[in-house]
Every structure is written in structure tokens, then in C-alpha cells.
Amino acid sequence: MINRYSRQELFLGKEAQRKVQDSSVIIIGAGALGSSSAEMLARAGVGKLTIVDRDYVEWSNLQRQQLYSEDDAKNKLPKAAAAKNRLQQINSEITINRLIEDVNGLNIEEMIKGHGVIVDATDNFETRLIVNDAAVKHSIPFIMGACVASYGTIFPIIPRETPCLHCLLNHLPIDGMTCETVGVLSPIVQIVASWQVTHVLKILAGVQVPPVLKSIDIWKDENSAIDVARLKDENCPTCGVEAAFPYLQYGNQTKTEVLCGRDAVQIRPAAARTFELKVFMEKLKDIITKPLINPFLLSCGFEDYRIVFFQDGRAIIHGTNDTMIARSVYNRFLQYYTESSLS
């Protein structure tokens, strides 16, 4: 164990390696980018890793999300839990925390507290803007990354030094493509994750990271690197002189969200509750089909839909992209539980 990090230390130096081992990094999202970044950071010896994800492992994840196994998919294990299980096998010396939660403006500030760097591995732009606001507000470097099809992009956000994500909104290609609608090649995931982890290691080692927006298309053999320092906006609502952090405000939070390309809608209740899942399943046994339960969630058939119900009352309604229908199904689902509890 003494020589575990010897090859990395030869490059970084002993003092930089010590800083890495004393550091704390949070990864928002444990999908393709998140799992790849988490493994590299765990192997690098980052002292504390926090992994946040709202979803569970599905078969389609296994093509590119390298921490997960077929057993994880069979058991619908939450990604954050499955990631922690695997990472502890990779490096037992570090501390790994998992949060099976949906990131929003009401919980993000508490999540990132005490961390030195935030790694973006989210699957939607709204969540990135929420994390961006929190990172800037609390002066924590935020390494943005995204990939779809054969294209990837990365940008390091260093509060008070670089433009933030909000500054770049009008300059980024946001065309609505997702890996569920156009697919994704696993090599682009590894490239973007490698860029992100390299930036993380530089920051932890005390090396300056320039405000360069990088992009690459591995299928078309195209790449670019643009210095965007001049795009920092003094009137930006996130990092400007009168910053208001709009994406942290309650009124801007989405409670119902279509999961692109999955024929599913996520419902997040206004107030979180804690449900005993075994009790919940028992009370609904006469109206649900094919229940599958683990310590984190209950998956079952209900009417013409499949519902994945989490301990905090959050649910993913499979079988519709209509938020109104999904909300109605969710309400009926909870109504049966409430009525059975009162009877």
C-alpha cells in the first residue's frame, strides 16, 4: 500500500500528492461521465469522494457506465449505491459517501459544503445551472462536462476568475440532443472524463486552470479550444456584480421533469417524506404488480405504468412523457397508500 500512488507521485510530486489525498471532491451524477470520473479519482487517491445521483442502474447503462454490473441492473440498484460498492473494492483507503437524491436549488448548497471541487456529470442543463449557481456562490471550482453521440465538451468554472456557465448560455450549442435520443459512443465519455479529472487534479495540486472551452468530435476527427475569458459578464445574474443566483430560488425549481428519450417522467414532491418501503409495498399489494424492492426503492406495475418509488417520495413514472398524466398517476398511487393507511 505504501507505493500505491508512486507513479502518480513521480509526476505530481510528494506535496501535490499529499494535497490530493487530503482533498474532498463531489461528483453530481453517476452515469457515464460520473462513473468514469469517480473511478479515476478513487484510483488517484482523492481522500473523500461524494457521489450524488437520483437514478438506478438499467441495462442500457452497461454499454458505457463502467462501474456497474449485470447484477446491479437486475436489482435496479441506485447508481450512487452501486458506485460506492465498486469504488470501495477499488480503493479501501478513501472515504466514499453516496447520496441517492435529486439535485435541486433547495438541497445543492448543503450537498457541496466542505468539498474542494465539483465535477459535473449531470444529464440535463437545468441541473447544471443549479450547480453552477451554488458553485459560484460558495466559491468552489466547478468542472463542467458533457457528451452526446461522438461529441464532447468541457469547461472549468473557477469562481471570481472565469466566466460561469450562465455567462456562456448564448455561446454554447444547446440543441436538445441527448444520449437517449441520438446515442453515445463510450470512447467520448472516457475522453471528456479524462479532461475533467485532469482539471480536478490540477486544481487540487495548486496548478492554475485557464478558462478554455474545449470540444471534440471523435467520429469527425474535429476538435477546438477557445479561450472564453472575455465572455465573463459583469451583469451575469450568477457571477456579476449584483449576483442573485436565480437557479437557487424556490420559484425556479421544476417539480415535474420529462426524462428525455425514456418515455418517463420524474415527480419530485414539494416536501420530502420518508417512507418505509416494505410497509408501503404491503399496503399496496392488491393494486400493484411485479414488485421489486431493495433498501432504496420500490419498482412495480401500477395501472398501465411502471413506477419506481424512492424513500423520499420521489418517483419515476414510466410509460408516459406527459407531465399531467404522470402527476395524476402519482397522485392516485399515493392516494391508495393514504386510504389504506387510514382504513
Please give the grid coordinates belonging to residue 304.
Answer: 398501465
Rounded to an integer, what distance in angstroms lies between the CA atom of residue 260 and that of residue 28?
18
Nearest to 144 by CA among 128, 133, 160, 159: 128
Strands 24-28 and 117-120: parallel
SS3 177: coil
SS3 193: helix
In eight-state DSSP terms, residue 209 is -
Going from the C-alpha of 3 to that of each of 8, 13, 16, the distances in angstroms are 10, 14, 16
Nearest to 269 by CA among 108, 104, 133: 104
Instruction: Specify the residue for cell string 464532447.
Output: 152
Nearest to 262 by CA among 69, 31, 38: 31
SS3 305: strand
Kindly name the residue from 179, 236, 239, 300 that is annotated as catalytic: 179
SS3 107: coil
Please give the grid coordinates belonging to residue 133.
Answer: 449557481
Rounded to an integer, what distance in angstroms lies between the CA atom of residue 197 and that of residue 145?
10
In angstroms and rounded to an integer, the radius of gyration of the C-alpha atoms of the chain is: 21
Nearest to 145 by CA among 131, 160, 161, 162: 131
Q: Is 147 among the residues known to form the active site?
A: no
Helix, strand, coil distribution of the chain in percent, nearest 5: 40, 25, 40
Give catalytic residue positions.
Answer: 179
